[in-house]
Structure 1
Amino acid sequence: MVLTNTVAAVRTSSSTYRTRAITNRLSIASHSLHTSVLRAHTNMRVRRYDILNLPLVPASERLTVNLLADPVTPEPRSIVSVPDSSPSLVRRSRPVGHGSHFSFLSTLPLSFPYDFPPEQEGEDSLGDRHQKELEQDDTDDSQLTAEQKKLKIEQAHKKRMQEVEHMLQRYEVQASEAATSAAADGSASSTGLTGHVPPRRRHQHFPSARLLGVSPAALRDCLPHLDVGDAFQWIQSQTMSAGPSSYSSGPMADAASSDTVAPDVAARKTLSDFVSGRLIGARIKASPQELDNDDNAGYGTKYMRLREKVIKGEQKEEPPADRTLRRLDELERKRAAADATDYAPWSLCYAGHQFGVWAGQLGDGRAFTLMETKNPETSQRWEIQLKGAGRTPYSRFADGLATLSSSVREYLCSEAMAALGIPTSRALAVVALPELQVARERLNVAAITTRLCESWLRIGSFQIHSSRSEWESVRILGEYVSHDLFGFNDVVKGGDVGDDTHRPVWVQRMVEEVAKRNAKTIGLWQVYGFMHGVMNTDNIALTGHTIDYGPYAFMDLYDEGQICNHSDGEGRYAYRLQPTMGVFAIRELLNAVAPLVGFELEHKRAPAPGELLAASEAQIDEWRELCDDEYSKELEAVFTSTLLEQWKQAYRARLGLTKEEGDDKTALIDPLSGVLSDLDFSTTLRRLCQLPALLKARGVSADDEEKLKDVVAAFVAGDPNTGLEPWYDASILPEYIRSQKETQARTWLSTYARRLLQEGRDGDQVTAEMKSKNPRFVLRNWVTNEVAKRLEDFNETEVLAKVLEMATQPFEDWGLPREGKSKEEVEEEARWCSLGRPLTGNLPSCSS
């Protein structure tokens, strides 16, 4: 199925940076917005907490209580630094097996490969010391035998690795502080987390943070119980500032702060430290002595000891089936003691198809989920996650960091999509780390986005376990998703192996729910001209939210074949193919759970713990084939019909139509795509909002063909006498197609106008409704790039605040004179609403 609506930029609109005077004028409105939001936030009846003390979701609903942990990090206390721990284990790229769904770990935003700075000024860094030792060894080895050289190299390597581990340990939560700080803070020990700033994170060389933006809309919609302190006022006061005072947290801000800190300042600094990856939030209920003697404490302590015994022959390798049964039992015991379970950040393990090719294990290469909380007003669940805060076991060859440009783009687009009514992850904040450089096509300033979603699980979360035949892990994940995320309350989570509990079916319901949610989301993408750019299966959320904003774009000039990703040379994720790629993703989800669907079809119930483990490969294949025969076409039909209905419904809303007609697609919406071709998609539809009011003002009726013809002609050409703009900007079209376009436009407008008049609704009311569905401001690529550059060059945080305000209120009449706005501000708003520079020459890549 090919749907309509794509826009590609073809026109260059030059825009120079405005002066400080214009920025100051813009700051007046932005400061007013922040003040009003803060006042409303402060006066709310909801009790507010700093970010560490946000109440966690009930213990039984926590992801880390319901899913299997990485054996290297089996418990939250695994992130605590103990003498024998090996923190580098979770910083290296490695396969994460044993059916694991996630790894506990802490953030660490440092350049990679690591070159730890000197303890004191004038000393060499660890890397420089190692290099000098190697050079010295080369001159001293001339008299050694080959065997002696080999032994010396091995000893030197071991010594250097020990030094690296010792240095990394000082960046992790210290055992001496893990429990004592929690005991000192009663609120943290009871409702939230304890904040840890390990010794090396206090060092002057650790990157300090500059808080660039906090989203008022995300606070309002997702976390009304979060206390951000004086963040809005502080950000506004620091626009276009540099030097130590412009840092909101980190060693530089620590040095500039006084001993006495006001509560609102403390809340802002805690927020900034937490979202910049410096502050580690955890709950570890153990004494330092207990942690030192606990094999589960410290990165990889228990795992390394077990592996050493196996390698030495002191212990046999555990058979896979026995290991799975043991882990199932451990999971049940963890669930039973959920209320007493510790808490720590984690990253997810998943796989995926990238550009249609199976890529194997991928996982959260630069994302860390910090906590799960609920909106106290709506009970909606939100996972708070950092993107760009350092390496994880899933980073592969990458550094785990993110650029300022990509972070600002995700921050703005997450909020813009929410304002358009498209299911999406949200963005709470964005921080820059000016001293930390990120190497991409050029050296970039590092930044971190704090993003929110109901869940970050994705189709690839099932694929990783299916590809490894870890069917019990598939079952465990599916039960959690069905019960806790989708609210299928009859689904039974877990239980002992061999129990005879009645288990209602859930697999088909879950897959259909994923299909419907993503179909609705992609349908809205098509209606609003959004292109994701990387619809790999690891980027498709189970909950249907738009996630993982990278080389996305909103279309400029309409082109169904538009590609927004420089890395997508073959156009796999072109605009017109997004529905098809959605079908591909849902097929792959079904493939990943097919044996479980077949089991349900055969047994009329869901599988119990251990049943899939006991099944033979032949039996698994039979269940998979049963699913293919009976279910795959039905699922695809559910997806495509849901998408089509959402697409038609949303288009009718944009066109101001309330009645559904059988030929909406063929008679009205599809022909509109032909009219929009080569035109500015968003601006043309926004101007269309004026037609219903014009029809009313001119007294046109459905059967008055001559008057209708005259009004349509005036609408296309514009009317200077009444201030009516032409429907579209003909100057962007090649001259040889302008006449054809005008004829095409008049024909479609006549059909559309008759349909409007037949509904008999008040024209002014229809125009108002259409303006609430057709944005005046669209977050175009050139806008996000300009904002990022102005932040990088001049720290113009007020520009970011202003564009965020426009993105979160896209239907307002931006760029029109209004009381309280200066001429310069109106001109700047109008510029940001213009077509601007072409999208085709401004495509980001996957590496962003």
Structure 2
Amino acid sequence: MKIKTYDVLNLPLVPASERLTVNLLADPVTPEPRSIVSVSGSSPSLVRRARPVGQGAHFSFLSTLPLSFPYEFPPEQEGELALGERHQQELERDDGDEAQLTEQQKKEKVEQAHKRRMQEVEQMLQRYEVQPSEAGAGGDGLQGHVPPRRKHQHFPSARLLGVSPAVLRDCLPHLDVGDALEWIKKNNKSAGPSSYSSGPMADAATTTDVSPEVAARKTLSDFVAGRLIGARIVGDASTLEADERAGYGTKYMRLREKIIKGEVVDESTEARTLRRLDELEQKRASGAGGEYAPWSLCYAGHQFGVWAGQLGDGRAFTLMETKNPATGERWEIQLKGAGRTPYSRFADGLATLTSSVREFLCSEAMAALGIPTSRALAVVALPELKVVRERLNVAAITTRMCPSWLRIGSFQIHSSRGEWESSRILGEYVSHDIFGFTDVVKGGAVSSEQAEKRPMWARRMVQEVATRNARTFALWQVYGFMHGVLNTDNIALTGHTIDYGPYAFMDLYDEGQICNHSDGEGRYAYRLQPTMGVFALRELLNAVAPLVGFEIEHDRAPAPGELLRASDSQIDEWRELCSDDFSESLEALFTSTLLEHWKQAYCARLGLATVRADDKTALIDPLSDVLGDLDFSSTLRSLVRFPALLKARGASTDDEDRLIKIVDAFFAGDRDAGVEVWYDATVLPEYAREPKEKQARAWLLSYARRLLAEARDGDEVAREMKTRNPRFVLRNWVTNEVADRLEKHNDTDALALVLEMATHPFRDWGLPRDGKSPDEVAEEARLCSLGRPLTGNLPSCSS
């Protein structure tokens, strides 16, 4: 069946009842999608200023804005001064005019000048935001807004570097990307205006005759580059100007000013929470799907085991929620590196080209290996925008997707603040809409009467998080993947691998390997990843313990307002009840599930159709000893040849001498018969080679007996093993080389080749075949080699 396709702005959104922004509490500074509209008196800088986001909020509405920070506003006309230069000149002139002023007059003058300059900054920023005159009458899709200042030649133009065909196939078959893939290939290694896919430079080079394919590509590129704001704002300019919820923080700021001046008495915590609950119910009841705007999530977390408080999406913007029309799977489309948010703290909200390319490639490599992961649709470079890290870098943005970006830290932020109603709201939404617990009741009116029996969700939700993450962590260990920063704010509730930073795939096998230069103590070493999973689950349980304890005591879930009425001592009692009743069983669930999936996946890599109780101690642990200091992936890939060799040479458990000879031939190679040696011993120091050989021969003999016991056809087993043991592994030196070639030469062909290899990792890359030249085959073989070992190539958290 042919699926109807749409450009990115018109992708069908999920029903209003399932949207995150309809079901969760918004930042009081940005209470509605229309809060991003630039009305008179609004303060766009407010939402991007690092600040605590309170009142139990789960997210903030805001627009993307990929600019360097602190913001610099270049002149609009030739010969004019930039805003910052003009302010500097004013300061210098003021210094010379103050000789005759009193100290009080100087103070007042400074305050007035500061206020005037801040107003000028706000007025400039307003021109980067959605204009009231651009609002529409609603509709099914989003409206694309390119505000006036974003059309200026100094706004960063985008260069589309890569689009993942696998994402279009697996996740977004209904997305029309126009001629994006062809355009990228055509512009490989090009420079100048024609090499830009969107933005002011591309606008200047575009003819008036634009085909639908070109239009779809340009819309996609502007959207994923953070220039085009996709939103649905209902109303005309005059209506929005009069609406106190339009504009960044307009109503909230006026109210706060009155409270500070003593003109208005601030609400109590209880009154404010009840008001917010009522507003949320009104929004749900009205099916508030008419308006839509991007948002960033509020969450907290433990970083390297230390409580860090509020963190949040410091450079991530979720643009929309859509579903795969073929599978019904939900996807939240998000940009990483598109500017500051309230959660950016001291950072610029941007991302480097290297880190963006690494996430783009690894997301797709992990999916191809069958490991639950966020996906990556596209990556764009912003060559004129520079990012300061360890060096000056080119800026880039990754378009990434996940069924949900909520993480363990999403509960921790509300637990740390005692916002139990926010925890309840979040838990009901996750349980019902993300995990599909359809019996769970979302929301409802606050009542002082006896609560009805609501289906429990807290224990089920935590168990679901444990089960999903246990499977993911198991597959990480089986495929040698190291996340690098397993902070609680980087662990998804859904069990998907998210937030790719200083990750790495194992090369020379070392259970103590770390892949993050910032992890000096080895907290997130390869062998400790399952332990870190247990730590994260404990923190999740700590964050929702009172809700679990409530369920244990009442045999039902809490109703709206019920947790608000509970005393601190009652909350503590429920927390203790949870601790006594549930924590040990949750950890047991995680570890047993992880071990089960780990054994199954490892046995699959070894071509075994069954899993025995003693496989860990008898087969897998001894293999880990053999693998020590060898190239993990290529050594396992070479085992693919072993079952076929056993078959070809008539191996049987009854003929021990023949079995030993076959093992000898496989280990040392048989040139006359075309049998290659098992592994490359030259990576080992000479003193270690002989002990390793004894280990390896003994293990191969045990493995041969285990294979023969299943009495399966050796050729069939070899074919199965080829689909479980990748020939290509995305090593750090490969991703860094690709990024370097993109930065220096705009070599998009290099990115496309590595992406193809990453999304088809089990193919026989580097072997002669039809349609491939010797040079192409040699390049594939090089990319599959060990290359530069990981120990000399560790990225940091800031990568």
Q: Give your verdict on TM over 0.5.
A: yes
Distance in 1, matches of 2:673 and 2:309, equals 62
> 1:62 — aligned with what?
19
Deviation string 1:562-595 (CA, Å, 9 cap, x unpaired) is 0000000000000000000000000000000000
Distance in 2, matches of 1:659 and 1:521, equals 21
> 1:835 — aligned with what?
786
How far is the alpha carbon of 1:121 from its aligned partner? 1.8
Is contact 2:22–2:288 with CA below 8 Å preserved after alignment? Answer: no
How far is the alpha carbon of 1:661 from its aligned partner? 1.0
> 1:467 — aligned with what?
416
Deviation string 1:340-369 (CA, Å, 9 cap, x unpaired) is 431000000000000000000000000000
Asked if residue 48 in structure 1 is aligned to residue 5 in structure 2, the reply is yes
Asked if residue 650 in structure 1 is aligned to residue 607 in structure 2, the reply is no
How far is the alpha carbon of 1:625 from its aligned partner? 0.4
> 1:89 — aligned with what?
46
Q: For residue 139 of structure 2, what is the amino acid of its counterpart?
A: S
Distance in 1, matches of 2:713 and 2:148, equals 68
Secondary structure of the 2:790 match is coil
How far is the alpha carbon of 1:190 from its aligned partner? 2.8
Alignment of 1:174-193 (within 5 A): 174-179=131-136, 183=137, 189-193=138-142
From 181, 188, 203, the equivalent of 2:152 is: 203
Q: For residue 211 of structure 2, what is the amino acid of its counterpart?
A: A
From 680, 686, 693, the equivalent of 2:644 is: 693
Q: For residue 84 of structure 2, what is the amino acid of its counterpart?
A: G
From 741, 747, 755, the equivalent of 1:804 is: 755
Is contact 1:814–1:829 with CA below 8 Å preserved after alignment? Answer: yes
Asked if residue 591 in structure 1 is aligned to residue 542 in structure 2, the reply is yes
From 552, 555, 567, the equivalent of 2:503 is: 552
> 2:777 — aligned with what?
826
Is contact 1:117–1:124 with CA below 8 Å preserved after alignment? Answer: yes
Is contact 1:334–1:341 with CA below 8 Å preserved after alignment? Answer: no
Q: For residue 561 of structure 2, what is the amino acid of its counterpart?
A: G
Asked if residue 720 in structure 1 is aligned to residue 671 in structure 2, the reply is yes
Distance in 1, matches of 2:676 and 2:212, equals 52
> 1:454 — aligned with what?
403
Number of aligned pairs? 797
From 356, 364, 370, the equivalent of 2:305 is: 356
> 1:113 — aligned with what?
70
The 1:69/1:339 distance shift into structure 2, 3 A limit, reads closer
Alignment of 1:754-773 (within 5 A): 754-773=705-724
Distance in 1, matches of 2:715 and 2:274, equals 67
Secondary structure of the 2:702 match is helix
> 2:249 — aligned with what?
300
From 609, 618, 628, the equivalent of 2:560 is: 609
Tell me the TM-score normalised to structure 2 length.
Answer: 0.99
Asked if residue 160 in structure 1 is aligned to residue 117 in structure 2, the reply is yes
Asked if residue 618 in structure 1 is aligned to residue 569 in structure 2, the reply is yes
> 2:459 — aligned with what?
508
Secondary structure of the 2:97 match is helix
Asked if residue 242 in structure 1 is aligned to residue 199 in structure 2, the reply is no
Secondary structure of the 1:788 match is helix
Asked if residue 420 in structure 1 is aligned to residue 377 in structure 2, the reply is no
Distance in 1, matches of 2:609 and 2:294, equals 47
Asked if residue 255 in structure 1 is aligned to residue 204 in structure 2, the reply is yes
Distance in 2, matches of 1:721 and 1:825, equals 28
Secondary structure of the 1:614 match is coil
From 78, 82, 90, the equivalent of 2:35 is: 78
Distance in 2, matches of 1:361 and 1:341, equals 31
How far is the alpha carbon of 1:723 from its aligned partner? 2.4
Distance in 2, matches of 1:149 and 1:567, equals 47
> 1:194 — aligned with what?
143
> 1:580 — aligned with what?
531
Asked if residue 145 in structure 1 is aligned to residue 99 in structure 2, the reply is no
How far is the alpha carbon of 1:662 from its aligned partner? 1.2
Distance in 1, matches of 2:201 and 2:633, equals 44
Deviation string 1:519-561 (CA, Å, 9 cap, x unpaired) is 1000000000000000000000000000000000001000000
Distance in 1, matches of 2:115 and 2:472, equals 52
Larger relative contact order, structure 1 or 2 (CA cutoff 8 Å, min sep 6)? 1
Tell me the TM-score normalised to structure 1 length.
Answer: 0.94
From 503, 519, 522, the equivalent of 1:568 is: 519
Secondary structure of the 1:450 match is strand
Asked if residue 328 in structure 1 is aligned to residue 277 in structure 2, the reply is yes
Secondary structure of the 1:233 match is helix
> 1:476 — aligned with what?
425
Distance in 1, matches of 2:314 and 2:84, equals 24
Asked if residue 775 in structure 1 is aligned to residue 726 in structure 2, the reply is yes
How far is the alpha carbon of 1:501 from its aligned partner? 3.7
How far is the alpha carbon of 1:479 from its aligned partner? 0.1
How far is the alpha carbon of 1:637 from its aligned partner? 0.3
Secondary structure of the 1:516 match is helix
The 1:643/1:626 distance shift into structure 2, 3 A limit, reads same
Asked if residue 816 in structure 1 is aligned to residue 773 in structure 2, the reply is no
Is contact 1:563–1:573 with CA below 8 Å preserved after alignment? Answer: yes
Deviation string 1:174-231 (CA, Å, 9 cap, x unpaired) is 001112xxx5xxxxx4321000000000000000000000000011000000000000
> 1:378 — aligned with what?
327
> 2:473 — aligned with what?
522
Distance in 2, matches of 1:418 and 1:643, equals 19
Distance in 1, matches of 2:487 and 2:724, equals 29
How far is the alpha carbon of 1:327 from its aligned partner? 0.2
> 1:30 — aligned with what?
none
Is contact 1:433–1:445 with CA below 8 Å preserved after alignment? Answer: yes
Distance in 1, matches of 2:690 and 2:107, equals 81
Secondary structure of the 1:338 match is coil
Asked if residue 231 in structure 1 is aligned to residue 180 in structure 2, the reply is yes
How far is the alpha carbon of 1:337 from its aligned partner? 1.2
Distance in 2, matches of 1:501 and 1:284, equals 38
Deviation string 1:663-691 (CA, Å, 9 cap, x unpaired) is 00000000000000000000000000100
CA RMSD of aligned residues (A): 0.7
Distance in 2, matches of 1:638 and 1:72, equals 41
Q: For residue 432 of structure 1, what is the amino acid of its counterpart?
A: A
Distance in 2, matches of 1:133 and 1:417, equals 55
Distance in 2, matches of 1:569 and 1:210, equals 36
Distance in 2, matches of 1:435 and 1:122, equals 21
Is contact 1:109–1:389 with CA below 8 Å preserved after alignment? Answer: yes
Deviation string 1:328-347 (CA, Å, 9 cap, x unpaired) is 00000000112543100000
How far is the alpha carbon of 1:659 from its aligned partner? 1.3
Q: Name structure 2 gaps, 5 residues minimum.
A: none
Q: Percent identity?
A: 79
Distance in 2, matches of 1:723 and 1:395, equals 58
**Which sits farther off after the overlay, 128-137 or 778-787?**
128-137
From 215, 221, 240, the equivalent of 1:266 is: 215
> 2:689 — aligned with what?
738
Distance in 1, matches of 2:452 and 2:369, equals 45
Distance in 2, matches of 1:121 and 1:771, equals 62
Distance in 1, matches of 2:288 and 2:128, equals 29
Deviation string 1:224-281 (CA, Å, 9 cap, x unpaired) is 0000000010000000000000000000000000112100000000000000000000
Is contact 2:353–2:739 with CA below 8 Å preserved after alignment? Answer: yes
Q: For residue 321 of structure 1, what is the amino acid of its counterpart?
A: E
> 2:746 — aligned with what?
795
Distance in 1, matches of 2:355 and 2:46, equals 28
Asked if residue 136 in structure 1 is aligned to residue 93 in structure 2, the reply is yes
Distance in 1, matches of 2:323 and 2:648, equals 49
